[in-house]
Amino acid sequence: MTSILAQIQARQNLTIVNDFGALDLFNSTMEERITEFKEDPLVLACVLKAYTTSGKGYLSLDSNELTGLITDSDRQQAEEIREYYTKKFFWKALADACQLSDYRRRLINLLENRIAKCKDQDCGIYYKLPYFYEEDVVYEEFKKKLKTTEISHLGSAGHNTMTKRLEFLTTTLSAQRKRKIVRYWFKDDNEFLYGLELASDNPLLMIFNDYLNEHPEVVFETRLTEDRIDQMNYYKLYNFKFIKEQNA
């Protein structure tokens, strides 16, 4: 089967550089450092995520220590991630190659060709993929089980403070360019999705988590706005506070 990149190239006549088969999609006046990995960088990224989230500290993707920590589970997860994104962007490219950003084209090239000789930006893509995958899998489940295709337009009503009883579902961590945010996800009785965002370094985060673990059903006084992420529609809470019920 023709690769995704080959299809895109045929449609858009993209130029492929001979330097280890990567697309020259990021123009830079500074020459990037190149790292050649002996192990699959995606496997190493899975190991690194597990190492970091366990609280053991931080290592770089090219750390020799990571190789000795690789398990069969890490290799399996890397293949799941590779298959997930290859399929996901295959259908996008098939529908319309213009939907794929430069970043996604570069990502596809890395995954399809199992690139192990990486520029700094490639290392950054590999590093983030296990985190992106963890977030995307949650969103896929939301799309299957909740009403995320269409939501009612709030209009000016969203600016008014309202009371909402919501059931806590889970959290996702999103790594943005300058900050990391934790998204808290809820649903209402009609199976519509709600979310709120807090900075990952918020000092009250642990208290908030403890409260939700003890009170999975929460009553908010909040304002709402319509939002969308990864082709998923939901209501975002802002200017919110908890309402303590008298019989609680």
Which CATH number goes with the domain that contains 176? 2.40.50.110
The count of structural domains within the chain is 2
Within-domain flag for 149: no
Lowest-pLDDT range of 14-23, 130-139, 171-180: 14-23
State whether 66 and 139 are in the same domain.
Answer: yes
Within-domain flag for 150: no
Domain end position, chosen among 143, 173, 193: 143
Within-domain flag for 15: yes
Lowest-pLDDT range of 105-119, 127-141, 152-166: 152-166
Within-domain flag for 173: yes
Confidence at residue 95, expressed as pLDDT on a 0 to 100 scale = 62
Domain end position, chosen among 81, 112, 143: 143
State whether 17 and 91 are in the same domain.
Answer: yes
- For residues 7 and 231, give the distance between their C-alpha atoms in angstroms, rounded to a whole number: 23
Q: Global pTM?
A: 0.77
pLDDT tens readout for residues 178-232: 778 999 999 999 999 999 999 988 998 999 999 899 888 999 999 999 999 988 9
State whether 117 and 43 are in the same domain.
Answer: yes
pLDDT tens readout for residues 90-102: 766 666 656 667 8
For 117, the domain range is 4-143
Within-domain flag for 14: yes
